[in-house]
């Protein structure tokens, strides 16, 4: 059980922070850095992780909205916003609990490391 969770966390870390295009990496690292900078105490790690995951989801949604033209040709003001929202919601609903937990743990570890580095250098 623990090995399966660890493998899920490592695969999420690789897929989110080591692979992918530059925009996805910028969104992921940006959300982690913002959460680490906003965090004041180590006890806020849970709420800051949720904030980082929310920023990551919003960034992914906005990336989809402002991406190039779609084959359907939907406008930015209407159809594309709704289509992207439905697609993003569908992707979220298809995530398993293990994958959600892996995202939470992966983001939490990176926020904790950045918070520790920030704390060390601020003294």
Model confidence band, residue 76 (pLDDT cutoffs 50, 70, 90) = low
**Structural domain spans, the chain:** 2-122
pLDDT of residue 15: 82
Q: Which residues contact 115 (CB under 8 A, 6 or more apart)?
A: 36, 39, 42, 45
Q: What is the pTM of this model?
A: 0.81
pLDDT of residue 42: 87
Query: Measured between alpha carbons, how far is residue 45 from residues 3, 59, 61, 102 in Å?
Result: 23, 21, 24, 15
Q: Residue 109: which of 28, 2, 55, 24 has the closest Cα?
A: 28
CA 119/CA 91 separation, integer angstroms = 36
pLDDT tens-digit map of 10-68: 888 888 877 778 888 899 999 999 999 999 998 999 999 999 999 999 998 888 888 76
86 alpha carbon, distance to own chain's centre: 18
């Amino acid at each position: 059980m623990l090995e399966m969770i660890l493998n899920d966390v490592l695969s999420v870390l690789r897929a989110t922070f080591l692979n992918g295009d530059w925009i996805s990496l910028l969104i992921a690292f940006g959300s982690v850095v913002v959460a680490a900078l906003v965090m004041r105490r180590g006890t806020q790690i849970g709420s800051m992780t949720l904030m980082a995951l929310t920023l990551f989801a919003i960034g992914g949604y906005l990336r989809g909205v402002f991406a190039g033209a779609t084959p359907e040709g939907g406008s930015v003001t209407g159809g594309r916003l709704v289509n992207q929202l439905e697609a993003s919601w569908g992707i979220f609903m298809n995530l398993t609990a293990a994958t959600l937990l892996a995202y939470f743990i992966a983001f939490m570890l990176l926020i904790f490391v950045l918070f520790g580095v920030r704390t060390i250098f601020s003294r």
